[in-house]
Structure 1
Amino acid sequence: MKEFFPFDPDTLSIESKRAKELGASLAADYQSKTPYHYTSVDNFLPEEVITRVREEALQMGDKPAENMSANENLKTSFNPDRMPKYSKAVFHALNSRPFIQFLEQMSGIKGLIPDPYYGGGGIHRTNTTGYLDIHADFDHHQIMNLERRLNVLIYLNPDWKEEYGGSFEIWTDDMSEKVDSFVPIMNRMCCFSTGANTMHGNPEPVNHPDGEPRLSIALYYYTATWEEGRVAQSTVFKQRPGSNDARSHEATLRVVREFVPPIVYRKTRNLLGRLRRR
């Protein structure tokens, strides 16, 4: 099946005019979604591109999980700067002007800025029994002093089925309803606007029958709209109703962050993160 996005698998160049047109074609649907704006596109990149990136991601092997807590289990990431040459070039292309213009046309957000540091982004790998509870993301790029506005996820999992876990879920802020869910199938792109209450995650543990990890490309985009004096938000987790998801420590962390030195906040956050699900 023909890919959606005009991306040359050999030169990794993007046809700028066509990219903008495709972004505009998604704008009405994207910007009409609630409780926040999002979309999903299948067969997004050429098959050759997505296959090579998957192969190189698997070549990186495994490594100790990061940010292990009751809310996040057996997930790790690889910075694109440490990836093999082809994958690194793909990430650079997805941070280029034509791709930014595609995102701006689709989202209606002007002045998007890619992250050259890939903070939190790159290749994400979640192993068997791994999950990421429903959450709203951190909202401030400290190094560049920017506001986080968009997430792009492109999945790298051939023949993945819903029963294998790891589906990407979108929830209302009050956690009363799961609004949408996307199985992380090969070459599916999900994009969504980020904010203080954009609750999302992949809380169902990965359970591939052959032990395959859940792999994805993750990229974040920002704008120069961060206001002086605004208090940054760290990742905020919330429980799904009727689940055994970890209890949220959102209120505690917000109080600690506002009134104590940064080192005390970090220690408190780490302590709460080590608590088991109960």
Structure 2
Amino acid sequence: MINFDLLNGKVEELKSQFLNAQPFEHVVIDNFCDENLLLEAVAAIPAVKEGEVNKSRDFIFAKNKFEKALFDDIHPNLKTLKRELLADEFKELLCKITGENIFIDPNFHGGGLHQGGKDSFLDMHVDFNYHPNEPSWFRNVNILLYLNKDWKKDYGGELKLLDGRVEDANLHLIEPLFNRAVIMFTRDYTLHGYAPIKFPDGEYRRSIAAYGYTQQDHEGVVRTTVWYPEKGGFLRKLLGKHMPRLVKLKSKLIGSGTSKNK
């Protein structure tokens, strides 16, 4: 499923692109999978039902975004994709590109199939930094594989990257093209998101998200997702800044809603 021959053949080039990318470390990889096998898998993805329990729990900072961790249930080719993402060969490839010791979360907590429906958006944010169920797992990278066949500029939904360390930093856009993967660091400055989409009715902004972790011998200072909304005024931005405290309190009281998105 994954084009390992292609990727292993240019691993040094990918490593250089990753380390030298702007606005922060990331790499864009086209033709990540066998195109025909991926097309078969995407054709089998059922339409989203608005009442399903796997709607994102990102409150006011996202709209019409759905998550399904058990994406491998949809089609045999996605089962193969999941197996290969968890395989030693992909682990070795990730380690070579990033220079970090990384493994993929086998349960795809918060990841799996992501689908954005009508007017979907995801505000700029930095991700949680430790796995909520595995306190010694440091979240090191995101791997995003886009599934948007025949995407057009008018549809919007480009991945937006911004360096939170730099005042008046330049925004970097990555088109969510079919069979394009993005591997990026997750740090307290690696802001990312996407603007409201204008996909045709019945079509969705789709991606497979896998999160790479590094095992540490100690528990670090936990940070939940921090939001940096670009619109909505002072109160919305203040809420985004303090959302980690609210989420931490909610999790203590009722547990993680994200864990329910199977």
TM-score > 0.5, shorter chain as reference: yes
**CA offset digits 1:132-183 (Å, max 9, x no partner):** 1100011111333300011111111111122212110001205623431012
Query: What's the CA shift for 1:253?
Result: 4.1
CA contact (8 A) 2:23 2:170 kept: no
State the secondary structure of the residue aligned to 1:222: strand
Output aligned runs, 1:249-260, within 5 Å: 249-253=239-243
Task: Mark the structure with the bigger radius of gyration.
Answer: 1
The match for 1:84 is 75
The match for 1:62 is 49
The match for 2:32 is 44
Q: 1:38 corresponds to which letter in structure 2?
A: H
Q: 2:229 corresponds to which letter in structure 1?
A: Q
Identity rate, percent: 24
1:159 and 2:150 correspond = yes
**CA offset digits 1:110-151 (Å, max 9, x no partner):** x21111111011111000111111000111113333000111
The match for 1:95 is 86
The match for 1:180 is 172
Residue 220 (structure 1) aligned to one of 211, 214, 218: 211
CA contact (8 A) 1:146 1:226 kept: no
Query: What's the CA shift for 1:189?
Result: 1.2
CA contact (8 A) 2:125 2:191 kept: yes
State the secondary structure of the residue aligned to 1:135: strand
The match for 1:133 is 123
Q: 2:178 corresponds to which letter in structure 1?
A: M
Are residues 244 and 165 of structure 1, via their aligned partners in 2, closer, same or farther at CA, if it must alter by over 3 Å?
farther
CA contact (8 A) 1:125 1:214 kept: yes
Query: What's the CA shift for 1:83?
Result: 2.7
RMSD over aligned Cα atoms: 2.8
Aligned length: 249
1:142 and 2:132 correspond = yes
Q: TM-score, normalised by structure 1?
A: 0.79
**CA offset digits 1:37-66 (Å, max 9, x no partner):** 011122222211220221122x36434322
**CA offset digits 1:14-34 (Å, max 9, x no partner):** 45xx64442222111210124
CA contact (8 A) 1:170 1:199 kept: yes
Output the CA distance in 2 between the equivalents of 1:130 and 1:239: 14
Residue 32 (structure 1) aligned to one of 12, 20, 24: 20
Output aligned runs, 1:239-258, within 5 Å: 239-240=229-230, 243-244=231-232, 246-253=236-243
Are residues 255 and 76 of structure 1, via their aligned partners in 2, closer, same or farther at CA, if it must alter by over 3 Å?
closer
Q: TM-score, normalised by structure 2?
A: 0.83
Query: Structure 2: 5+ residue runs without aligned partners?
Result: 257-262
Output the CA distance in 1 between the equivalents of 2:2 and 2:47: 28
Q: 1:215 corresponds to which letter in structure 2?
A: R
1:263 and 2:252 correspond = yes
Q: 1:207 corresponds to which letter in structure 2?
A: K
Residue 120 (structure 1) aligned to one of 93, 110, 117: 110
